Amino acid sequence: MNFPPAAPGASAGNPDPGDFAALLQARGLYPPPAVATSGPASASAIPTQTQATTILAFKFADGVLVAGDRRATAGNIVVYDRADKVLEIDRHSVMAIAGVPATAWEMARVLEHSFQYFRRTQLQEMSTGGKVRALSKLLRDNFGFVMQGVGVVVPLFATYDTAGPEPGSKLYFYDVMGANFEVAEYAATGSGSPAVRGVLYYENTWGRKPLSEYTLEEALNLTLRALDTASEADTATGGVDRHGRIFPMVKIIAAEGIRTITDDMLRGLFNGGRHPSAQPLSAGVPIG
């Protein structure tokens, strides 16, 4: 039991009454930003660490789809095969993470509490712009650690804006310093992202129709195939693990909220596809 006694003017220590991160820092509950004392610990540290996953997101007919594989690695070791990298922040927002889990999950936790704290104290929902910026600030505060070669996080942020001047699905990606970029169609991050970007670009540009017109089933199919493609060459991406029956985490964000796609649905779609190893062994490999 460690509540500090309530004092008159309880917010006196908090410079901004709506800012939960500032409150945590004022109370000493969140580590202060690390200060970079020299350059990067080693030139290869940053790129290696940002590359141990595959996260993708794109807009389709029903909203935004955000998906991530489930593999967590340390160097060339697979440490966990059920990591959840697609995290719900509030009723309409999802943050998908590529990077160091400790930092990323903590950021997601701060973010989740920040949005709630803002709504509760200020009696209004934080705007989409405010939410996007809040994540920017967390990344910016983390940059000292990044410069020391630890704690790199490169997230995607997807939300449904109900109150802004242009309501609808919004999708953003970030760089390690916290710059945010709104994307119109799709985004991918992590080590498997070059392959995924290739798939998404190809389908969007040369496919039968643009991604924005995909139905849910088509979007899920593409997602599974893109992650499978990424995992083909990238050992840090779990892809679709048919043997362990581990499927990617896929969430859909729309006006009515967030929907998590069940493993059963993903299994059905994936096995219905033409991937050779999706067929039972006895059935042989279809040709053509």
Partner 1 sequence: MIEEPFRFVEAIANRREYIENQIATGSPIVALNYAGGILVFTLGRERQKVFEIYDRIAMGAIGHPGDIERLRMTAIELASTEGFTRSASDVSLRRMANYSISPALKAAFEQIYGAPYLARVLFVELGPDGSQNTFLRVDYDGSIQSNGTPFSKSRQEYAVLGGTRASAEQMEKFLARDYKNGLDLDAALRLALDTWTAGFLVFEGDKNPEELPDEGTLNRTRREQLEAATVEAAVLESKVATPATFRGLTDGELRPLLEGNA
**Of the two residues 13 and 130, which places its CB atom closer to partner 1 in the complex?**
13
In contact, 22 and 12? CB cutoff 8 Å: no
Whether 53 is a known active-site residue: answer yes
Nearer to partner 1, 121 or 279 (CB): 121
| Nearest distance from C-beta of residue 125 to partner 1, angstroms | 12
24 vs 278 by CB, closer to partner 1: 24
Rg of the chain taking only CA atoms, in angstroms: 20
CB of 264 to partner 1, least distance (A): 19
By C-beta, is 5 or 288 nearer to partner 1?
5
> Please, what is the minimum distance in Å from the beta carbon of residue 256 to partner 1?
12
List Cβ neighbours of 158 (8 Å cut-off, separation of 6 or more): 57, 64, 66, 93, 94, 96, 169, 170, 171, 172, 253
Q: How far is the CB of 113 from partner 1 (least distance, A)?
A: 5
Applying CB under 8 A, which residues contact partner 1?
Answer: 1, 3-11, 14, 17, 20, 23-24, 27, 29, 91, 109-110, 113, 116-117, 119-121, 123
Is the dihedral angle over the CA atoms 52, 47, 174, 114 positive or is it negative? positive
CB 251 within 8 A of CB 259: yes
3-state secondary structure of 201: helix
Q: Which of 37, 50, 53, 73 is catalytic?
A: 53
Catalytic residue numbers?
53
